[in-house]
Homo-oligomer: A and B are copies of this chain.
Amino acid sequence: MDAITRIERTLSTEVGRAKAPGCPPSLAAAMDHAVFPRGSRIRPRLCLAVAAACGEDRPRLTEASAAAIELLHCASLVHDDLPCFDDAPLRRGRPSVHAAFGQPLAVLAGDALIVLAFQALARGAAGAPERLATVISIVAGSVGVPRGIVAGQAWECEANADLSQYQQEKTGALFAAATASGAASAGADPAAWRTLGERLGEAYQVADDVRDVMSDAEELGKPVGRDSVLGRPNAVLRLGVDGAISLLRRLAEGAIEAVPACRGAAALREHIISETQRLVPRHLAARAA
């Protein structure tokens, strides 16, 4: 079965629990809206690819780790879009959860998705209970305090903060959890796998910066997008388009070098090359080649 089928099947099963009798239908619908239809699923695919490279032997736990990371990613988008943060009316080309369901259900759907991530892990560890605490520590650490995405988001509420550093940390945290939990799910040492995730997270953040500037420029005739409006750090504003794309390439190369020795290293490097190539918009790929 291919990676995306495994991921979507696990997410459907987990989010489907919200549709069980006794659950308020609007909450179930809001959770569904937050998770489907799918985005790129880049983090859970990375998690599965690392587990495979490590000689995956507990597929249910790997799938649960991948799903948990995606559920937490979706939860963070729902809460970050709230009026008290980004006040974003759209997400993936559709109304954001609070725009579609109201603020109360957006707060609750985010909360429920966080809890669901840990329920999924507990269920997925049935065949490997001795790995559960490690996987939970990795996944929870990437979300909570002191250095997870919630902490990263909270830096935006501080008067004196190096937003560039914390934005990077915020993106990097879930990518590092994807690689480390993929390894831990397969019984490998997770610590060796964090650098790969951090570098990929940084590359993804730069790619996001490029999209923020360039898709607006293309589609709306505006030179800059939301980062500029919200006063956020953006690699394109700092380095120019060519500079940002060069940086992206260097980060992608650094990620490939960070793959630890393992049975499936060659296939994993191929996966990373293919993924990072997709990060550069096609019409820009030639510019810094």
Chain A contact residues, CB within 8 Å of chain B: 17-28, 31, 75, 79, 82, 84-85, 102-105, 107-108, 110-112, 114-116, 118-119, 121-123, 125-126, 129-130, 132-134, 136-137, 140-141, 143-148, 150-151, 153-158, 161
Q: How many copies are assembled?
A: 2
Tell me the minimal C-beta distance from A160 to chain B in angstroms.
10
B-side contacts of A132, CB under 8 Å: 122, 125, 129, 132-133, 136
B-side contacts of A144, CB under 8 Å: 111-112, 115-116, 119
Cross-chain contact B104 with A150 (CB below 8 angstroms): no
Tell me the minimal C-beta distance from A35 to chain B in angstroms.
12
Cross-chain contact B24 with A157 (CB below 8 angstroms): yes
Tell me the minimal C-beta distance from A70 to chain B in angstroms.
16
Cross-chain contact A18 with B111 (CB below 8 angstroms): no
The docked-state distance in angstroms from the alpha carbon of A108 to that of B85 is: 10
Tell me the minimal C-beta distance from A11 to chain B in angstroms.
14
Knowing A27-B157, A79-B111, say if A146 contacts B21 (CB, 8 Å): yes
Cross-chain contact A111 with B114 (CB below 8 angstroms): yes
Smallest Cβ-Cβ distance to A140: which chain B residue: B119
Cross-chain contact B133 with A122 (CB below 8 angstroms): yes
Q: Which of B22, B126, B154 contacts A24 (CB 8 A)?
A: B154
The docked-state distance in angstroms from the alpha carbon of A165 to that of B28 is: 19
